[in-house]
């Protein structure tokens, strides 16, 4: 867990980040850390990103985990200043920053933060922050458990990014994976679905 990995009792040290090409961070991971450890992690991520590391971030907002709304917005603003890839949801961003609508969220992210990534909009499908693809997305046929919708989308997007897929391919792959996952209890795909997805990727 982030609290243990980056806590004072951990002997690994922040330089462990340098071992990885890409680091994914969630707002939940930041929110549960004591302020000192949170600041240290963010500083380490800034150092890592400045030296070529890829930082993917999802604000994944849980208001009760933060000390105050002000600290939540300040921390997320810092993350958006340097994150390489943005994977937020529109509802979270509107809540954190009091943005009026999705267009306001996109304008803020593209002006002050990363310009690569996707704004998750649930059944409406993602908005491409690079703004060079316009496409439609199919909704899940039968939503059973939406617990892992965002995480599933992020996994699909990052898998496509790592594999060198185009922006459009990443968005479709991410939305398709999330749409599949939410149709199963426990937010876990059955083995037959996993085999199907693996064969498609292969």
- Write the CATH number for 108: 3.40.1190.20
Q: Is residue 125 included in any domain, yes or no?
A: no
Contact status, residue 168 vs residue 134, Cβ threshold 8 Å? no
Q: Is residue 124 included in any domain, yes or no?
A: no
Mark whether 151 and 111 lie in a shared domain.
Answer: no
Mark whether 95 and 162 lie in a shared domain.
Answer: no
Mark whether 112 and 134 lie in a shared domain.
Answer: no
Going 29 to 32 to 34 to 35, the CA torsion angle's sign is positive
pTM for the structure as a whole = 0.85
Q: How many angstroms separate the Cα of 63 from the Cα of each of 30, 31, 42, 60?
A: 12, 9, 19, 10
Contact status, residue 38 vs residue 30, Cβ threshold 8 Å? yes
Which pair of tokens denotes residue 66?
A: 């933060």
Q: Is residue 100 included in any domain, yes or no?
A: yes
SS3 56: strand
pLDDT at 186: 72
Confidence of residue 199 (pLDDT cuts 50, 70, 90): low
Q: Is residue 48 included in any domain, yes or no?
A: yes
User: Residue 176: phi, psi to the nearest 5?
Assistant: -65, -45
Q: Is residue 123 included in any domain, yes or no?
A: no
Enter the DSSP assignment of 202: -
Domain count of the fold of the chain:
2
Residue at which a domain ends, from 66, 91, 116: 116
User: What does 86-154 look like in DSSP terms, one character per residue?
Assistant: E--BHHHHHHHH--SSHHHHHHHHHHHS--SBEEB-GGG--EETT-------PPPSS-S--TTHHHHHH
Higher pLDDT, 198 or 122: 122
Residue at which a domain ends, from 116, 147, 169: 116
Mark whether 5 and 98 lie in a shared domain.
Answer: yes
Residue at which a domain ends, from 88, 116, 144: 116
Q: Is residue 147 included in any domain, yes or no?
A: yes
User: pLDDT tens digit string along 116-175?
Assistant: 999 999 888 899 998 766 677 777 677 777 778 889 999 999 999 999 999 889 999 999
pLDDT at 195: 47
Residue-number span of the structural domain to which 144 is assigned: 130-202
By annotation, the residues acting in catalysis are 151
Mark whether 197 and 103 lie in a shared domain.
Answer: no
Mark whether 96 and 189 lie in a shared domain.
Answer: no
Tell me what the mean pLDDT of segment 63-91 comes to: 97
Mark whether 18 and 82 lie in a shared domain.
Answer: yes
């Amino acid at each position: 867990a982030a609290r243990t990995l980056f806590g004072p009792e951990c002997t690994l040290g922040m330089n462990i980040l340098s071992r990885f090409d890409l680091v994914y961070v969630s707002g939940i991971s930041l929110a549960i850390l004591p302020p000192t450890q949170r600041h240290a992690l963010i500083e380490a991520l800034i150092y890592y990103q400045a030296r070529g590391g890829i930082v993917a971030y999802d604000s994944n907002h849980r208001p009760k985990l933060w000390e105050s709304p002000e600290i939540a917005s300040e921390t997320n603003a810092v993350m958006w200043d340097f994150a390489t890839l943005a994977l937020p949801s529109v509802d979270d961003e509107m809540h954190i920053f009091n943005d009026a609508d999705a267009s306001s969220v996109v304008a803020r992210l593209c002006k002050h933060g990363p310009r690569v990534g996707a704004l998750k909009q649930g059944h409406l499908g993602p908005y491409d922050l690079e703004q060079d693809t316009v496409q439609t997305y199919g909704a899940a046929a039968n939503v059973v458990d939406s617990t892992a919708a965002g995480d599933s989308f992020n996994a699909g997007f990052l898998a496509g990014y790592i594999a060198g897929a185009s922006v459009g391919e990443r968005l479709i792959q991410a939305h398709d994976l999330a749409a599949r996952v939410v149709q199963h209890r426990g937010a876990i795909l059955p083995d037959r679905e996993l085999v199907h997805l693996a064969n498609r990727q292969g």
